[in-house]
Each structure stands twice: as structure tokens, then as C-alpha cells.
Structure 1
Amino acid sequence: MMLYNTLTPGPDLLTEREVRDTVIQVMASATPPPPFSTQVYQVIQPSLVLIQTRFEGEDDERDEGLGSGVVINDRGDILTSLHVVDGAVDIQIIYADGTRSNGSVIAAQAENDIAVLGSDRLPEVLVPAILGNPNAMRVGDEAFAVGNPFGLYSSVSAGVISGFGRTFQPEGRDQTLEDLIQIDAAVNPGNSGGPLLNRYGQVIGIVVGIINPTEDEFFIGIGFAVPIDIAGSAAGIPPY
């Protein structure tokens, strides 16, 4: 036995530094990937726009409004909610790179609260969003809303799809919207017209409103979006 141990010595003992380096390496390999919300935001942010509007008010005063939109094709067409721009005397579009342009409504679907905007000036680098298939989604799947709530540019909120085929009548309007996606991702004034996204950052809907049984204008847990196959048809995008 002594002869064997002499001819076959045991392994060298690790130094304290080697132990520490090994632990760090193992811990690094076990670090989870970034959350889907981080990836979603990076994908959609270049395609998001802020919409500023002005409306004729009483006594020659002009009311101002805010909304969101998303670039959907190489022409620079922007999808948003019709109620964001309907009746506006001035529409300003601010792109992700800061480019500002006058905007105008070039198509509308009143029955779905969807508008398509054209822009007088495009940014040097135009990044259309990637459109997903809402029919591939299921209740419980992750859903992400990105927009400009209360004018806070390019904000992201995360939740899940709560249901499909919902009906919703916006407050103060006779119109009833149908076949909506219900979500619990937080949406607030300023989110209207912004994209609803799947975990890959693909647009699956356009946010149009929230259920609000109180007089407070903030999110209570039920938001709605028009599926992108319906909303996109206003811009000539063929259905899935």
C-alpha cells in the first residue's frame, strides 16, 4: 500500500483562489437569462412612436392629447387607435430617434377603433415592427404592452392574456368593439394605440382601452386590444 501511494500520488489540493474562481464560473453558468420583458422591449422600442394631438376646444382654446402607435411596414405606416386622433386639428408623431413629423389619417376602421397614420417626415433609419399571429396565442400566455402612459415615453408592462373574443363599449361612445383580446398588463391613458406583444416582441394586437367602473383614469386590471390580423387589414395587411 505504501509503495502504491508513492508511485500514484493523489491530486493536488486546490488553492483558495482556484476554489473561488471555480465557484464564480459555476454560478455564472447558472445565471438565468434576462426576462422576456427585456427582450421584448429591445425588439419593439425602435418601432414605437409617441403621438401628440390638438383638438378645437371651447372659447377658441385647444385641448391636447397623447397616444401611442407602432410602425408596421417599410412605407412608414403607423397603426394606432382611432380615438387617439379622431377629430384632431394637429397630429404630431415623435419617433424613437427623436425625429418629429406632422401626421395625418390615411385610413380608418371606426368599427374596430383603428387608424392608419401617414407621416410627412420619416426617420433616417425606419424599423417596422414584426407582426405576430394572435391566433397562435392561448389564454395564460405572456403579453406585453408598450406605449406612452401619461406621456411617459416607451414604457413597458407585463401580464398575461386573460381571454379572447371579448366585447367592450368605451365610455362615452355608442360604439361596441368586438373580438378583442383581454389582458391584465397595465395600460393607462397614453397607452391607447400602442402595440400588444408576445414574448418574442411580435405585435399581436393594438391596445384600445380599459374597463373602468370608477371615475378614476387609471388601470384596474382589465385592458383590451384589437388583434393585429384585424387591425392590420386597415393598412392592407392580409389576414392570417
Structure 2
Amino acid sequence: MRRPALYSSSRPAPAQQASAAAQPAPDAAAAAAAPERRKRRFSLSSPALLWAAIALLSALLAVSLSLSMRPVPRKLTQKDINAAVLKTLETQTIPSEYAKAYDKIQPSVVRVVSYVKRSRLKESAPRLGHGGSKPKPLGPAQGSANATASPDDDEDEVEAGVGTGVVIVDKGVILTNLHVVSGADHVKVTFFDGLESPASVTGVQAENDLAVLQASKIPDDMIAATMRSTGDLQPGDKVLAVGFPFGIGPSASGGIVSGLKRSFRSPEGKQEMTNLIQFDAAANPGNSGGPLVTMDGEVVGIVTAILNPTPARTFLGIGFAVPIENAATAAGLPPF
């Protein structure tokens, strides 16, 4: 009888199957262990995250407290501003309007001295000292026959009079009155810093008693005056006259505009000037040719004459100035 062939079975025995089923596959075991490891890592690091969160919250709380404790600035009111201004006025010395105007115009004001030959002085003096009851040019503060000769010129020349001028172009162009330099053999100007220079007459406007001078030398820091239109000038506006009355100065006198478009006739009656500014700031011989300025220190006129019904040639309260528009035209400058 033939024996049946014996074959090895590809299936494990039931006992082996049970044992294999009881043990998980390696891959499945690794997959099941991964979440457990992640869980363990998370649980280990959570205290660090907790402390970091606490630190962040503490910082935010500190910032919030500091902001809440910072005083909120109070909005300024008009009452606060008024109180501050009043306190400043009580504790600080503030220059007057006239002082500020003078400070601005002073560097542009010059002393104008005319010289004549000694032999002509006696002939010129009677004309310069003309008296009468009519309005008259101020005239320069007169020299005398005993005046000292100019050190820069021939000893035969002596100082005939002193007037005023104002620099209108920083290259040394100066405005003054024609009667200040009329008949002079030569003219000398002295600037604000003491620099003395010969000057020549480069232009005249006889109908407005104006002369234009050009200085031979000028200061390094020459400052020209600022000119202002008289279009908005009104009676009652404050003005300042600056010059060398009787040769003393520069001197300042304050007042107001008394009127506009006034007329003036020369003592001899040969010339009438119109459209003049009337003012009450004190002006005397030597003020001729000086600037009449506003409280901004801007020139609105050139002082030219006074009204005095006596032979004294002193100021009684009525002075006249040529509007700066006319003066600018005399210097060849464009009108405003």
C-alpha cells in the first residue's frame, strides 16, 4: 500500500496562529508607540511653555500699568495762555515799539557833513540861516567860521553843516535832502560803525528836495534800509524820525502821522512841494535827509522841512517828509 506524501503546511498550526496574533506586528507596534512618545514629549515641555506664557502676561501687565499710571497731559486753554503771557510781561523787560524800530533802522542811518571853502563860508551862511515866518527846509546843523578844517581835504575847507542820510542800496547809495549838500565843495558821510567816506552827488530831484549820494567806501556789513509804500499809511500811525539834530546823534524821536498829501512852499516862494507826509515827531536842523520809519523799522519818508512861524528854526510840532515813492524814483529804483 502506497504511503501518502507528506507536505509541510504553509499555515501555522493553530497554536502558532494564536501566538502570532497575540504579538503585534513590528510596524503596527511602532505606529502605536509614536503618539505615546509625542504625548510624553508634550507633557515634558508644557511647564516651559507655561512659564513663557506667564512671563509674557507679566510683561504686558507691567506695560499696561505704566501706561495707566502716566499722567495725561492737560489741554491748554486760552486762560492758560493769557496767564503765561501775563507772567512774561511781569518778569521780562520787553523793548518798546520805538526801540525795536530804531534798532532795525540805525545801521542804515549816516551822518552827512558838507564842506565849503573858507572863503565861501561867509557868503553861504546867510543863505543857510535864512529866517522868516514861512515853512522852511530844516537845513543842516550849521558850522561856523571857526570850524575845524576837514583832516582829509585842503585846510581851506571847513565844515559848513551836518545833515542825515539813509542807505537804500547796500553798495553805498544814500538818500538825503538836496539842501543838505547844495553848494558844498565836497561831502563826507559817516556810517553806523564809524567808517568815514567821501561821497559824491550822483542824482538830484529838485522838486522834492532830494539828492542821491554814492559813498566811496562802505562797511563790510553794510545794511540797507527797507522801504515801504505809503499806500496804507494813515493819520495816527506811529512813526520814528532818526537823524542828527544840531549834529547830535544818531538821535530818535517818536510821534505819529499827523496828515497826508500836505503842501509846502519854500521860504522864497519859488518852489512848492506837494503830497508830503505831516508828522509830529520832533525834528530840528540836522534831521534833514533822515528817515521817517514805521514801527516795523521800514522807511516811508525822508524828513525835509518844519513849519515854524518864528525865526528860531526850532520844532513846534509840524514836520514834513517826502514820501519814499518819490525818493525811490530819485534814486532810479522801481516804484512800489
Q: State whether TM-score is above 0.5.
A: yes
Q: Which bracket does the TM-score occupy, shorter chain normalised?
A: 0.7 to 0.9
The letter for the 2-side match of 1:34 is P
2:107 to 16, 21, 46: 46
Residue 224 of structure 2 corresponds to residue 128 of structure 1: yes
Q: What's 2:208 paired with? A: 112
Where do residues 1-240 of structure 1 align in structure 2 (5 Å cutoff)? 28-31=87-90, 33-55=94-116, 56-58=120-122, 64-172=160-268, 174-240=270-336
Query: What is the deviation of 1:74?
Result: 2.4
CA distance in 1, matches of 2:204, 2:184: 14
CA distance in 1, matches of 2:94, 2:259: 28
Query: What is the deviation of 1:135?
Result: 1.2
Q: Secondary structure at the match of 1:132?
A: coil
CA distance in 2, matches of 1:87, 1:157: 29
Q: Is the 1:99–1:122 contact (alpha carbons within 8 Å) kept by the matching residues of 2?
A: yes
Q: Is the 1:198–1:204 contact (alpha carbons within 8 Å) kept by the matching residues of 2?
A: yes
Q: Is the 2:189–2:198 contact (alpha carbons within 8 Å) kept by the matching residues of 1?
A: yes
Structure 1 segments, 4+ long, off by >4 Å, are 25-28, 59-63
Q: Is the 2:242–2:252 contact (alpha carbons within 8 Å) kept by the matching residues of 1?
A: yes
Query: What is the deviation of 1:173?
Result: 5.6
CA distance in 2, matches of 1:214, 1:141: 28
Q: Secondary structure at the match of 1:43?
A: helix
1:160-187 Cα deviation digits (max 9, x unpaired):
0011111112334621111100000000
Query: What is the deviation of 1:27?
Result: 6.5
Task: Label 1:126 to 1:184 Cα distance change in 2 as closer, same or farther (>3 A).
Answer: same
1:117-174 Cα deviation digits (max 9, x unpaired):
0111111211000111111111110011000101112101000001111111233462
The letter for the 2-side match of 1:48 is V
CA RMSD of aligned residues (A): 1.9
Q: What TM-score comes out, normalization by structure 1 length?
A: 0.85
Paired positions, count? 216
Q: Secondary structure at the match of 1:161?
A: strand
Which has the higher mean CA deviation after the structures are superposed, 112-121 or 51-60?
A: 51-60
CA distance in 1, matches of 2:228, 2:85: 37
Query: What is the deviation of 1:34?
Result: 2.1
Task: Label 1:185 to 1:100 Cα distance change in 2 as closer, same or farther (>3 A).
Answer: same
Query: What is the deviation of 1:203?
Result: 0.3
CA distance in 2, matches of 1:187, 1:138: 20
Q: What TM-score comes out, normalization by structure 2 length?
A: 0.61
Q: Percentage identity across aligned positions? A: 44
Task: Label 1:89 to 1:209 Cα distance change in 2 as closer, same or farther (>3 A).
Answer: same
Query: What is the deviation of 1:75?
Result: 2.0
Q: Quick check: which one's strand share is greater?
A: 1
CA distance in 2, matches of 1:59, 1:88: 12
CA distance in 1, matches of 2:162, 2:300: 22
